[in-house]
Amino acid sequence: MREPIIAIDGPSGAGKSTLSRLLAERLGFTHIDTGAMYRCVALAVERNGIDVADLDQLARLCDGLTIAFQRDATGQKVLLNGEDVSEAIRQPHISLLTSQVAAVAAVREAMVTLQRQMGRAGGVVLEGRDIGSVVFPDAEVKFYLSASARERGRRRYEELCLSGQKVDLEQTIGEIEARDVADQGREHSPLMQPEDAVLIDSTGLTIEQVLAKMVTVVEARRLAGAAG
């Protein structure tokens, strides 16, 4: 029996990356971090001095990028044209630029095509902002992770502090709120909760508590699929 495609959507800072990785590890599935793919495009835009408004240049840039995920003993790395950019793509200014880049139709088309190629065989966990609504609308299992903007900002702040970056808590929360507005208001594939997605509000919950909820849902769907 073909293993399911698991789609995880939600706003910035909701814990999608961490939970997607842990869920994939728990199930023995492949983790495809689609948000990191858009961050790679944003990093390439910055490095090449490209104007986000120049659609032709953006399209050509996407055509020339190679994005891959590589797992080793230390975890999963994000490779852009063979370079490990796992930390570089998590910088705050890249996060803001990512939202602008992701709003461009040509960029989304290129990334969605790549995501579908990576995940169509099943046995994958994909996370982003439009996985269950656009990339894999027929995914067997869909989750929508959320939390208050303050909670998500606090988590992001702690993550950045642990990585050695000097950041301000209120500024980080403000950036999360700005990202929400941009993601929800963009013309192409705006952030939204798919009607058939399981909503999990992680405010006040630990990662393990949320993961346990997700595993329960997945196992129930797998049993139902086997019985059907």
CATH number of the domain at 193, please: 3.40.50.300
- Domain range for 190: 5-227
Token look-up 């997607």 returns 20
- Contact (CB, 8 A) for 9 and 101: no
| Predicted TM-score of the model (pTM) | 0.77
Per residue in 13-68, pLDDT (tens digit) is 899 989 999 999 999 898 998 889 999 999 999 999 999 999 999 999 999 999 98
3-class secondary-structure state, position 54: coil
Q: In the chain, how many domains are there?
A: 1
